[in-house]
Amino acid sequence: MKKFRILGIIAILVMIANITFNFEDGWSSFLEGYHEGARSYKSVPDNLYRVSLEVKPLESIANDSIFNQVAEQKVPYQISEITTYAQPSPWIILVMIISALSMFAFIFGFYFFIRFLFEVSKRNVFCEANVWRIRFFVYSYTAIIVSMELFAWIAGGAAIAQTQIPGYQIIDHAEASPAWLPVIMMIILAECFVIGVRMKEEQDLTI
């Protein structure tokens, strides 16, 4: 159990570091958007959302060029991403509410995860309390990922439909897509743990 306690502490520290890093990154993006919005509040309505789009130039358009100081000559360049504003559907408000509730639930989910590790370190592993603790943690985190993807999908889809760039083709929205494989693995492992608890309960009843 000493090894498990060490692994549990490492897991908690990694999660705290990851949450801190994501918070700092999100806060920086928020401040950047806030300052940009403050500079352009007279020209950008409140119902528009900032969205990044992936673009590529049309083949019929000649490449632009910029001067390279090292090569001392002009070199071609292409724009692959732009930032613009779009008006998404009213469903975006519901998604933002769900996202806020998911973040609030994940705070408790993280606490339940720490309690889960604490109970396991005391050899109290296969119990019903640990079932809902690990499920609450996993599914509250999944809800955050799903709400983030929905927000990017709604806002990005609106921006693609509403934006036209002469000489460029819009490929897709450039919002960061969450890593779904770790989320799916977390759900599978959590449900495997639930199955293990149910099997132990059935064995205890047959003894």
21-70 pLDDT, tens digit each: 655 555 555 455 545 554 555 555 666 777 888 888 777 565 677 777 87
| Average pLDDT of every residue of the chain | 77
Q: Rounded to whole angstroms, how far apart are CA atoms 153 and 178? A: 12
Question: Quick one: tokens of 190?
Answer: 């959590």
Query: What are the Cα distances from residue 138, in Å, to 67, 142, 147, 176?
Result: 51, 6, 14, 21
pLDDT confidence bin for 135, thresholds 50/70/90: very high
Residue 3: the pLDDT is: 59
**29/71 same-domain check:** no
**81/163 same-domain check:** yes
Q: In the chain, what is the straight-line distance between the N-terminal and C-terminal CA atoms, in Å?
A: 27
**19/121 same-domain check:** no
pLDDT digits (tens, 9 = 90+) for 175-199: 656 677 888 888 898 898 888 888 8
**25/55 same-domain check:** no
**15/79 same-domain check:** no
Strand pairing partners for 84?
Answer: 51
**14/92 same-domain check:** no
Average pLDDT score over residue span 135-154:
88
Domain that holds residue 198: 50-206
| DSSP category for residue 58 | -
**109/33 same-domain check:** no
Residue 35: the pLDDT is: 52
Any alpha helices (H) in 84-179, and if so which ranges? 91-121, 128-162
**54/26 same-domain check:** no
Residue of 109 and 21 predicted with greater confidence? 109
**34/65 same-domain check:** no
| Total domains, the chain | 2
Q: Rounded to whole angstroms, how far apart are CA atoms 144 and 53? A: 22
Residue 136: the pLDDT is: 94
pLDDT confidence bin for 137, thresholds 50/70/90: very high
Residue 23: the pLDDT is: 54
**1/91 same-domain check:** no
**2/78 same-domain check:** no
**83/152 same-domain check:** yes
Question: Quick one: tokens of 70?
Answer: 């090292």
Token pair 């509403």 is found at 162
pLDDT digits (tens, 9 = 90+) for 66-97: 777 877 778 777 777 778 888 888 888 888 88
